[in-house]
Structure 1
Amino acid sequence: MTPDDLALLLRATAARVLERRGLDTGVLPEQVVVERPRNPEHGDYATNLALQVGKKAGVDPRELAGWIAAALAEAVGVDSAEVAGPGFLNVRLSAQAQGAVVAVVLTEGSAYGHGTAMAGTRVNLEFVSANPTGPLHIGGARWAAVGDALGRILAAEGAEVTREYYFNDAGAQIDRFVRSLLAAALGEPTPEDGYAGAYIAEIAAEVLRAHPDALALPAADRHETFRAVGVGLMFDEIRAKLHEFGTNFDVYFHEKSLFDSGAVEKAVDTLKASGSLYFEDGAWWLRSTEFGDDKDRVVVKSNGESAYIAGDIAYFQDKRARGFDLCIYMLGADHHGYIGRLKAAASAFGDDPDTVEVMIGQMVNLRSGGTTVKMSKRAGTIVTLDDLVEAVGVDAARYALIRSSVDSNIDIDLDVWAAQSNDNPVFYVQYAHARLSALLRSAGELGITWDAPELGLLTHEREGALVRTLGELPRVVASASELREPHRVARYLEELAGTYHRFYDSCRVLPQGDEEPAPLHSARLALCAATRQVLGTGLGLLGVSAPERM
């Protein structure tokens, strides 16, 4: 019996209890909350259902809890139900009912833990979208890991997810990048507002190898050559590094295409016609304060040039025209202002502002030897994705970037994440998977199977704890999807790995010496196989490998 099964049983039991006493069943919530008590002595699961609805139904919550407990104790699979405090209900399941979770995991395989909460929802998930003006920095790397994991989790809940990279190939930063390349090609100092680092000289040299006469071209043609080739080379490198990092995109959308196609002009004209833009001080402004923004935003400057938000507005309209129901933007720590303006843009088009979600990621710091790593060997002024991967590897890098909430700063200690020890969270989880794989290989060599296990034999406290932890995966994935928090899966995996290691230390799985294989061995092997499956599924949702040998 999974926690969700118990929640359904509790609701049905409570409904019968209320109905028998002529009380209103309409006070019951659609979903009953079932939790695992912190203290195992309080039972396998607990609920505050009676506290929630007692007064609404006109009965003392503790009395209602007693009625539910009495009825619940008669249900198949429930060993006992006890009232605690003012109306909490503690429930203990039979070993057979708990063991059913193992059977479900083994039957469903990699589909176990998946849900349907977002079935039918088309999601545009835009993340990374770093300007192609330098190597991918560590902040962009955080979004590469978190965004990819979130896409996997949303898909596991039934969403149709399109992963999209917004290629910023227009605007002032590209001009700065091109001027920096030209200066390097001409042997001149880096412009005051330009980009520094060895990579600038490398790309400038690549441009000249491809176009040896580029510096002899007229100024406008020379600028365009360095822009087109230089930006293309930089973006190719970013895309290649992301692929090596396990992050790939379905769509690479070019900002420049919005201007070249007239989409920006069309979007602006639409908002002018609707009255959502007004003219003041020679510029066109979006009435964004009317839609909850902290100030109105300039869309077309007084010199006639489009402000950056103009591209954002056209880009949102393009996403909606492509049929996306939900547009998630994953932006850096300095982009808080975008929340209001993007929602305002949606509202200005007559759309529901909740079709826009903006996630803001905080800073990442690398530490080594007790000090902060401040700059890249190649980029010069920033810490890059390459720096992290070179130090700890792809799996550890992804896991380290995912396992903390994105709204908090994180310090990644390279010495910890490079170590093959239990202090390294990803090693701890992967080792559990590898240990289970070795155990199951040994069982196969001994000819011991777990095809038809007697799961009711799993009565040990450590076995029960492991089974209940396995039963949590569907709810963990559902909450990670709903709250857009992939770190919940990582933390769950660490809990599961720890629960498994404690089980293994207390419960002998394979027979020793001349001992004959017994039904308990098969039952425990089935539990181990289910645990390996869930660890593999969870690591897969994070884009981290599940090694069978370490």
Structure 2
Amino acid sequence: MTPETLAEKVLSATRAAFEALGLDGAVLPSRTAVERPRDPKHGDYASNIALQTAKKAGTNPRALAEQIAGILAAADGVAKVDIAGPGFLNITLDAAAAGEIAGKIVAAGPSYGTNGSMEGVYANLEFVSANPTGPIHAGGTRWAALGDALARIMRASGAKLTTEYYVNDAGAQIDHFASSLLARAKGEPTPENGYVGAYIDEIAADVLKRRPDALDAPEPLEVFRTVGLELMLDDIKGTLADFGTHFDVFFSENDLHQRGELDAAVQRLSELGHVYEADGAVWLRTTDFGDDKDRVLKSSKGAWTYFAADCAYYLDKRERGFEKLVLMLGADHHGYVGRMQAISRAFGDEPGTLEILIGQFVNLLSNGEPVRLSKRAGTIITLNDVVEAVGVDAARYALTRYSADSAIDLDIDLWTKHGNENPVYYVQYAHSRTNGIIRTATERGVALGDGYDASLLSHPLETELLKVLAEFPAVVATAAELREPHRIARYAEELAGAWHRFQSSGCRVAPGHDEDPTPVNVARLWLATASRIVFANALGLLGVSAPERM
């Protein structure tokens, strides 16, 4: 029995209790939930529905709990219901009902964990969006892992989602990038405000390979701008693909300018009454929407600002039909939250249309000391540096294991260890062990098709493992709702712990060499297969591999 099914039984029993006591059922919620108690001795699941509803109904919570318990105890799959404290319901399932979940998981396979909590939500998720003037740095690496994992989780929860990378290919930073490439191609020093690092020399050389006439062109700077940006963006795309991060759309800021979308956006805001002129500049009155000051759209010199492009880009997303916009920004962009939310409100959108997630910094450590310089970029740690240090799987897992709003010290020594102290190894090893045990059981004649008696999974550690497996869909739904991929990683570690305890308990899946398979072996094979599926599904949501052997 899944927690969701049990919750429905609890609600049904509560409705019946209200009717028996003559209480007003209108105060009852449309849905409820059950939780695992901290102490397994208190049962398999707990509900506080009596405490939630008794006061509204004008009755004593313990008396209501007693009425609910009597009805619920008679439900199929429920072994007993105890009442604790002022009215908590502690529910114990019978072994067959608890064991049903393994069969459901095996039947669902890769789809187990998917849910409809975001069904019908048409969303756009933008992340990384690093300037195409250099390799992706460690902060962008965190978003590459977190954003891609969040996309997988939201899709698993039913969202119709588009992932997007905003290419900032307009403005002064692109001028500096092009000037740096041209200077290096000429063998000249890097200009003021230019970019440095081995990658600049590499790209300058690649521009000349693609355009041998670049230095003799009528406008060499424009050649280095155009070709250099193409090469840098190709490098970024390749790096992201190697990291397992894929985008549906790479959106060009320059295209906004070329299509006149900045003019159109400002015209729309003007029609809505939020634009004014002062000191020769054009302003958006963002203070009307909670910003700390009004923002300039066009300078007194007639130049568009980055803020104007932000307005146009927001409007473009909305006009493409996206109902929910999720934007991931680094800690150094915290000041953007107020102005971006003001853009949303100025266009007339409801609060919540735009969500902004702020991520904290990543520090790479080796031998306890910070690693500060990149071999290629020269001044910053890049995505490739992180991957070179710990590998793709460890990097993705480490970067998704923590809440985005907490800084990370990514310790190379820890994340490259082949031991249980390394969280990704701990989970991947648990998955590989399920495969090994299933192979052994199969070789010794145990098969899933030999019938599954769920009631035989009655050992306390089997029950514990089943309860953890049953929670996976709810964990995925919560991770999607709260935009918190780290919940999947922490769940995977909890599952690994439950699996290892089950394995060390003497509950053998495979019979001995000279023993015939028993129905208990078959039941445990179902449990092992269900565990393998959930390990693979959880790791898949994080973009981390699930190796069969380690």
> Which range, TM-score by smaller chain?
over 0.9
Query: How far, CA to CA, are the matches of 1:450 and 1:213 in structure 2?
Result: 68
Partner of 1:185: 185
Query: How far, CA to CA, are the matches of 1:303 and 1:29 in structure 2?
Result: 59
Counterpart code for 1:117: S
Query: How far, CA to CA, are the matches of 2:281 and 2:51 in structure 1?
Result: 58
Which digits, 9 at most, give the CA deviation of each residue in 1:205-248, with x for residues without a partner? Answer: 22223333333445xx1211111111111111000010011111
SS state at 2:322 partner = coil
1:50 Cα deviation (Å)? 1.2
What's the TM-score, normalizing by structure 1? 0.98
Alignment of 1:262-281 (within 5 A): 262-281=260-279
1:299 Cα deviation (Å)? 1.1
Which digits, 9 at most, give the CA deviation of each residue in 1:159-179, with x for residues without a partner? Answer: 111111111110111112122
Indicate if the aligned counterparts of 1:23 and 1:57 stay in contact, CA closer than 8 A. yes
Counterpart code for 1:465: E
SS state at 1:354 partner = coil
Unaligned segments of structure 1, at least 5 residues: none
Question: Does 1:172 pair with 2:172?
Answer: yes
1:67 Cα deviation (Å)? 1.6
SS state at 2:92 partner = strand
1:548 Cα deviation (Å)? 0.8
Partner of 2:500: 501
Indicate if the aligned counterparts of 2:197 and 2:378 stay in contact, CA closer than 8 A. yes
Partner of 2:6: 6
Alignment of 1:297-376 (within 5 A): 297-376=295-374
Alignment of 1:411-490 (within 5 A): 411-451=409-449, 452-490=451-489
Which digits, 9 at most, give the CA deviation of each residue in 1:412-433, with x for residues without a partner? Answer: 1111111111111111111111
1:336 Cα deviation (Å)? 1.7
1:292 Cα deviation (Å)? 2.1
1:28 Cα deviation (Å)? 1.7
Indicate if the aligned counterparts of 2:444 and 2:517 stay in contact, CA closer than 8 A. no
Query: How far, CA to CA, are the matches of 2:271 and 2:68 in structure 1?
Result: 61
SS state at 1:339 partner = helix
Indicate if the aligned counterparts of 2:290 and 2:342 stay in contact, CA closer than 8 A. yes
- In the alignment, which of 406, 414, 430 is matched to residue 408 of structure 1? 406
- In the alignment, which of 288, 303, 312 is matched to residue 290 of structure 1? 288
Query: How far, CA to CA, are the matches of 1:190 and 1:63 in structure 2?
Result: 80
Query: How far, CA to CA, are the matches of 1:288 and 1:60 in structure 2?
Result: 51
1:194 Cα deviation (Å)? 1.8
Counterpart code for 2:147: G
Partner of 1:102: 102
Which digits, 9 at most, give the CA deviation of each residue in 1:174-209, with x for residues without a partner? Answer: 112122222222323223322111111111122223
Partner of 1:159: 159
Partner of 1:541: 541
Query: How far, CA to CA, are the matches of 1:533 and 1:127 in structure 2?
Result: 29
Indicate if the aligned counterparts of 1:114 and 1:477 stay in contact, CA closer than 8 A. yes
Which digits, 9 at most, give the CA deviation of each residue in 1:344-380, with x for residues without a partner? Answer: 2122222224221111111001111111111101111
Query: How far, CA to CA, are the matches of 2:31 and 2:290 in structure 1?
Result: 33
Which digits, 9 at most, give the CA deviation of each residue in 1:236-262, with x for residues without a partner? Answer: 100001001111111111000000111
Query: How far, CA to CA, are the matches of 1:30 and 1:195 in structure 2?
Result: 58
Indicate if the aligned counterparts of 1:540 and 1:546 stay in contact, CA closer than 8 A. yes
Partner of 1:248: 246
Root mean square deviation, CA, Å: 1.2
Which digits, 9 at most, give the CA deviation of each residue in 1:455-497, with x for residues without a partner? Answer: 1011100000000000000100000000001110111001001
Partner of 1:523: 523
Counterpart code for 2:346: A
Counterpart code for 2:496: A
Of the structure 1 ranges 277-286 and 250-259, higher mean CA displacement relative to structure 2 is found in: 277-286
Which digits, 9 at most, give the CA deviation of each residue in 1:317-353, with x for residues without a partner? Answer: 1111111111111111111222222222122222224
Query: How far, CA to CA, are the matches of 2:224 and 2:529 in structure 1?
Result: 56
Partner of 1:19: 19
Query: How far, CA to CA, are the matches of 2:328 and 2:519 in structure 1?
Result: 51
Query: How far, CA to CA, are the matches of 1:191 and 1:278 in structure 2?
Result: 38
Partner of 2:257: 259
Alignment of 1:14-163 (within 5 A): 14-163=14-163
Query: How far, CA to CA, are the matches of 1:431 and 1:495 in structure 2?
Result: 13
Query: How far, CA to CA, are the matches of 1:272 and 1:261 in structure 2?
Result: 19
Counterpart code for 2:473: P
Query: How far, CA to CA, are the matches of 1:228 and 1:117 in structure 2?
Result: 44
Question: What percentage of aligned pairs have identical amino acids?
Answer: 57
Indicate if the aligned counterparts of 1:343 and 1:354 stay in contact, CA closer than 8 A. no
Indicate if the aligned counterparts of 1:181 and 1:201 stay in contact, CA closer than 8 A. yes
Which digits, 9 at most, give the CA deviation of each residue in 1:129-181, with x for residues without a partner? Answer: 11111111111111111111111111111111111111111011111212222
1:126 Cα deviation (Å)? 0.9
Counterpart code for 1:229: V
Query: How far, CA to CA, are the matches of 1:353 and 1:228 in structure 2?
Result: 39
Alignment of 1:208-227 (within 5 A): 208-218=208-218, 221-227=219-225
Indicate if the aligned counterparts of 1:164 and 1:253 stay in contact, CA closer than 8 A. yes
Query: How far, CA to CA, are the matches of 2:29 and 2:211 in structure 1?
Result: 69
Counterpart code for 1:56: K
Indicate if the aligned counterparts of 1:267 and 1:317 stay in contact, CA closer than 8 A. yes
What's the TM-score, normalizing by structure 2? 0.98
Partner of 2:491: 492
1:286 Cα deviation (Å)? 1.1
Indicate if the aligned counterparts of 2:441 and 2:511 stay in contact, CA closer than 8 A. no
1:88 Cα deviation (Å)? 1.3
SS state at 2:331 partner = coil
SS state at 1:303 partner = coil
1:31 Cα deviation (Å)? 2.1
Query: How far, CA to CA, are the matches of 1:246 and 1:57 in structure 2?
Result: 53
SS state at 2:448 partner = coil
SS state at 1:83 partner = strand
Counterpart code for 1:442: T
Query: How far, CA to CA, are the matches of 2:418 and 2:274 in structure 1?
Result: 58
Indicate if the aligned counterparts of 1:162 and 1:250 stay in contact, CA closer than 8 A. yes
Query: How far, CA to CA, are the matches of 2:344 and 2:388 in structure 1?
Result: 41
Query: How far, CA to CA, are the matches of 1:62 and 1:28 in structure 2?
Result: 16
Query: How far, CA to CA, are the matches of 2:68 and 2:20 in structure 1?
Result: 12
SS state at 1:334 partner = helix
Unaligned segments of structure 2, at least 5 residues: none
Indicate if the aligned counterparts of 1:283 and 1:301 stay in contact, CA closer than 8 A. yes
Query: How far, CA to CA, are the matches of 1:70 and 1:278 in structure 2?
Result: 68
Runs of 4+ in 1 over 6 A off after TM superposition: none
Counterpart code for 1:70: G
Query: How far, CA to CA, are the matches of 2:221 and 2:17 in structure 1?
Result: 79
Counterpart code for 1:257: D
Query: How far, CA to CA, are the matches of 1:288 and 1:422 in structure 2?
Result: 51
